[in-house]
Amino acid sequence: MTTTTISGREVHIDAEGFMTDPAEWAEELAPALAKQVGIDEITPDHLAVIRFLREDFATQGETPTLRRISTVAGVPTKRLFELFPKKPGKKMAFVAGLPKPQGCI
């Protein structure tokens, strides 16, 4: 197990860099985590998606997939790819301090 310091806070991460304890995450960490995946500025739209991920993980016990975010939270797929380009599922999970999504869709 590796620990790292993000925004002055010590957190545990796995080999891929994902935080391993959702309880160690706080919204103040989001901007620093986002920078690591190439998102220089966190907008309210980014935050809305991140908050949905956190709430959904808390109730479902797994990181929501892109399809779940678009159908349940109502954020269109296109918009998700604009907000978190290239690897949206992994990037948003990373910023939200959650495991990468496992679902096929």
Partner 1 sequence: MTTTNTAPRPAFLDESETDRKLCIICSKGTLDMAYPGLVLANAALGEGIETNIFFTFWGLDMIAKKRMASLKATPVGNTAMHMPQAIGPIPGMTAMATRMMKKEISKLGFPEVPEFLQTLVDSGAHLWACKMSTDMMKLDPDELFDGVEGIIGATEFMEMSEGAQIIFI
Element (H, E) at 10: strand 9-13
Tokens of 27: 């919204």
Is 77 in a helix, a strand, or coil?
A: helix
17 an active-site residue?
A: no
Judged by CB under 8 A, which stretch of 12-20, 39-47, 50-58 contacts partner 1?
Answer: 12-20
Query: Can you read off the two tokens belonging to residue 13?
Result: 């991460």
Q: Which two tokens stand for residue 16?
A: 């891929």
Least distance from partner 1 to the Cβ atom of residue 44, Å: 22
Residues in the chain: 105
Q: Taking each helix axis from N to C terminus, what angle separates 44-60 and 88-95, rounded to the nearest 10 degrees?
A: 80
Do residues 71 and 59 touch, judged by C-beta distance below 8 A? no
- By CB under 8 A, is residue 27 in contact with partner 1? no
> Looking at 20-28, 32-40, 42-50, 51-59, which segment touches partner 1 (CB under 8 A)?
32-40
Determine, following the binding rule CB under 8 A, whether residue 78 of this chain makes contact with partner 1.
Answer: yes
Q: Is 2 in the site for partner 1 (CB under 8 A)?
A: yes
Residues forming the active site:
104
Contacts with partner 1, residue ranges (CB under 8 A):
1-6, 10, 13, 15-18, 32-33, 36-38, 66-68, 70-71, 76-78, 81, 85-90, 94, 100, 103-105
